[in-house]
Amino acid sequence: MKNPPTMTEFSPSFIWGVATSAYQIEGAATTDGRGPSIWDTFTHKPGTIIDGSTGDVACDHYHRYAEDVDIIAALGVQAYRFSISWSRVQPLGHGDWNEAGFDFYSRLLDRLAEKGIAAHVTLYHWDLPQGLQDHGGWLNRDTTQHFALYAAEVARRFGKRVASIATHNEPWCTANLGYGNAQFAPGVADTALAIQVSHHLLLSHGLAMQAMRTICATYGSSPRLGIVLNQWPAMPATDSVADIDQAEWEYARSVQWFMDPIFKGRYPQKALDRMDMRQFHVHASDMEIIHQPLDFLGVNYYFRAFVSTENPPKQPEGKLGFSDMGWEIYPVGLTDLLLKLRSEYPDLPPIYITENGMAVADEMKDGKINDLQRINYLQLHLYALHEAMACGVDVQAYFYWSLLDNFEWNSGYAKRFGLVHVDYETQKRTLKDSAYWYRDFVRSQMQAKAA
């Protein structure tokens, strides 16, 4: 293993943080007027979640947010990325706002401000209000307008109190896992519909950006506005023409499918040529709306795509192993991806690594969790990140996924991503060894900053 970066290697202004999302930690699913979201509906359907669990209680963060912010403060990080549950602040996704819902986020923001922690908000981390799903959800073009109104309202209320606002988290997942293969809510399996959903997600992003820019100009606030995309470099398993071609197609339909409209104002031709376009409806001005300047691009990196056309497909060797999710640990993919983005998109704004992390089957022994694998993972990925930055990629923040063990979507509570262990019976939080490692690492960065 290569040595981790030393304290002098990251810039003094670099932002260190941790990340979560609303449905995965908040619980309090029906408290204080929160409306149901598609994830409430989905998890309550038998057979959807591996361990049959739901986010009804999750980490009970809604009631324990103060303690959780204290933990973030104890880690010594400067930034916290979390998402707003749309149906908590607007129970139906249209119409009336729920003041009690906004109050919760206001209390959370107060607590973060008291501790000097910057808030990085995501508007949509997959939990569409069921009230909008009942009218077709992301297949209904009207949803894009409702999303823009919701974005504007959050920007109006909180624009001065947050450091950044991201429109969507990983629209690839919303479209392809929610509509393509039914692994995620709302549980639809139709790839042609997934493509239309992805277009509506991008359109809603563009409309929300426009609406928030107007609000920020009116109210004199200046949160950085952007989007969070999950990305992977696609690598051919061999140098055969078929594998190389397949890898290019994989990259086009996953990464470029979202990046090109946002940064170039058009869909990638390589993807258009091969996708199922039966349901693809794009209005004349849509691409212009999607193509808005961003203040930052959030990149979530977990693994590479290893692309093989052989039957059965050739598997990666996974030299560094696989996480408890079965995801290959491949840190150099982060360097490759960032360099590729920089070379392909001249208008790339500063990048935040908004998620990166590892599920480990952590076991508590004598009240401690020795998650050495996660520490190694962190070291290697920070090294890989530093390599990209040394080559000139402008990365300004890193958020570890996740602060807490939490509800890992269709994997339920079985997969643990946290720096902090959660005992779901008692809701007791215990810092893992990785949390102490990250705290010390961040502290060394801060000391370098002060020196």
Pattern of binders to ligand FCB over 385-404, x per CB under 6 A? Answer: ----------------x---
Q: How far is CA 95 from CA 3, 91, 293, 396, in A?
A: 54, 8, 29, 37
- CA separation for the pair 111, 114 (Å, rounded): 5
Interacting span for ligand FCB (CB under 6 A) from 2-10, 59-67, 169-177, 328-336: 169-177
Find the shortest distance in angstroms from Cβ 216 to ligand FCB.
Answer: 25
Interacting span for ligand FCB (CB under 6 A) from 49-57, 140-148, 165-173, 390-398: 165-173
CB atoms within 10 A of CB 337: 22
Selected binder of ligand FCB within 263, 400, 417, 438 (CB under 6 A): 417
Binders in 81-120 for ligand FCB, by CB under 6 A: none
**Of 26, 328, 355, 387, which one is the catalytic site residue?**
355
Q: Is 355 marked active-site?
A: yes
- CA separation for the pair 85, 32 (Å, rounded): 13
Interacting span for ligand FCB (CB under 6 A) from 86-94, 166-174, 181-189, 235-243: 166-174
DSSP state of 322: B
- CA separation for the pair 198, 306 (Å, rounded): 23
Find the shortest distance in angstroms from Cβ 42 to ligand FCB.
Answer: 14
Please tell me whether residue 413 binds ligand FCB under the rule CB under 6 A.
no
428's enclosing H/E stretch is strand 428-431
Pattern of binders to ligand FCB over 353-372, x per CB under 6 A? Answer: --x-----------------
Residues 110/114/119/125 CA torsion (nearest 10 deg): -50
Please tell me whether residue 230 binds ligand FCB under the rule CB under 6 A.
yes
CB atoms within 10 A of CB 379: 18
In degrees and rounded to multiples of 5, residue 371 shows phi and psi of -100, 65
Phi-psi region of 96 (alpha: psi -120 to 50; beta: other; left: phi over 0): beta
Find the shortest distance in angstroms from Cβ 169 to ligand FCB.
Answer: 5
Please tell me whether residue 408 binds ligand FCB under the rule CB under 6 A.
yes
* Residues labelled catalytic: 170, 355
Residues that bind ligand FCB (CB under 6 A): 21, 24, 169-170, 173, 230, 300, 355, 401, 408-409, 417
